Amino acid sequence: MKNNSHFKKCISITCQFLVLLSLSFSSFSQSDYPNRAIKVVVPFAPGSVPESVLRIFTQEMTARFGHPIVIEHKPGASTNIAAAYVANAPADGYTLLLTNLASNILNKSTYKKLAYEPDAFMQIGLMAVTGFYVVVRADSPYQSMNDLIQAAQNSPVSFKYGSLGSGGASHLVTELFRSKTGIKELLHVPYKSGAALDLIAGRLDFMIDASVINQVKSGQLKALAVASSKRWPTLPDLPTTTELGYPDVTMSAIIGLSAPAKTPAGILDKLNQTMIDVGKNPENIKRILAMHAMPVSMTRAETQDYIKQQSEKWKPVIQSLQISFED
């Protein structure tokens, strides 16, 4: 009987020791973070403005951490490929997602079935926001957004527009544009990448997207408006959709970092504080503004609340437009 009691006591002590050891190891892992390379998965093709903003941050964060932050591209399926990859990765802070409208806000409402849970991510923080621009090719006959609307309304053939995938941000804002401007029908052409190139080549009639600013700056595309309630500070002469009479046709793209939902809070806090510190660098602010993006700095809680508010805002809009996909 004594032996049995002694055995149970040993088992209890051993279990307590293992729990303490596990907690100590977890605490050490967080305080030691990062001790190897971090990977950020980008759901867009190489060369996008979000990626360029991300590289400003990863360059300085690499120097601060003493370990590289590498970027891996997984475009396609309206960012669902990249999102599923990160959502199913180990929650250890070494695989992160470039936060974006589709993965973090829209897809949970546009897709009936996802390869990941809608609450699969914890928000780390935001870096910047960018505008969505109504654009046509440089030699287009349309000199204003009203020219484009009238032509699309009167055309016997549906105008074609491109987007970075069905159900994505550019698809949604363009269908919202169609609905609010009274255009009966538009032909949607979803792309994995290269939509802007087809617009430049004349195979599309227009686009509304956040990734086209480089082509606007180079003169290959012409911006007719920014889908915003206020003029974009770096493009003060470009009218907004609101002042042109369409206040509901507004959208901003977000750029930030997300992690798998069960990532330890200590790791998320360290990443967030580093992002905030990097975002305060005047040289970094200047570089971000040069890309026509607006620097943004938020705590983890503020970022989480912002994502929640935007999700609640867009859900009824998506339902009213009847945009829905199986997978």
Below-70 pLDDT ranges, the chain: 1-30, 327
Domain with 161, as residue range(s), is 133-226
* Within a domain: 171: yes
Omega of the bond prior to 34 within 30 degrees of 0, cis? yes
pLDDT of 134: 98
By DSSP bridging, strand 186-190 and strand 159-163 are parallel
* Within a domain: 9: no
Q: The CATH number of the domain where 273 resides is what?
A: 3.40.190.150
Residues 235/244, Cβ–Cβ less than 8 Å? no
Instruction: Say whether both 316 and 260 belong to one domain.
Output: yes
- C-alpha span between 6 and 79 (Å, rounded): 58
> How many CB atoms are located within 10 Å of the residue 266 CB?
15
End-to-end CA distance of the chain: 61
Instruction: Say whether both 56 and 118 belong to one domain.
Output: yes
Q: Which residues make Cβ contacts (< 8 Å) with residue 194, sequence separation at least 6?
A: 45
pLDDT of 311: 93
Instruction: Say whether both 286 and 210 belong to one domain.
Output: no
Instruction: Say whether both 290 and 216 belong to one domain.
Output: no
Instruction: Say whether both 44 and 124 belong to one domain.
Output: yes
Instruction: Say whether both 205 and 115 belong to one domain.
Output: no
Residues 177/246, Cβ–Cβ less than 8 Å? yes
* Within a domain: 217: yes
- C-alpha span between 126 and 106 (Å, rounded): 17
* Within a domain: 239: no
Instruction: Say whether both 62 and 122 belong to one domain.
Output: yes
* Within a domain: 241: no
pTM > 0.75: yes
Q: What is the DSSP letter of 229?
A: S
Three-class secondary structure of residue 14 per DSSP: helix
* Within a domain: 2: no
Q: To which H or E segment does residue 202 belong?
A: none
* Within a domain: 19: no
* Domains contained in the chain, number: 2
Instruction: Say whether both 36 and 101 belong to one domain.
Output: yes
Q: The CATH number of the domain where 154 resides is what?
A: 3.40.190.10
pLDDT of 25: 45
Instruction: Say whether both 62 and 108 belong to one domain.
Output: yes
Instruction: Say whether both 47 and 85 belong to one domain.
Output: yes
pLDDT of 28: 47
> How many CB atoms are located within 10 Å of the residue 54 CB?
23
* Within a domain: 175: yes
Dump pLDDT digits (tens) for 250-296. 999 999 999 999 999 999 999 999 999 999 999 999 999 999 999 99
Bridge partners, 159 (sequence order): 186
Instruction: Say whether both 141 and 281 belong to one domain.
Output: no
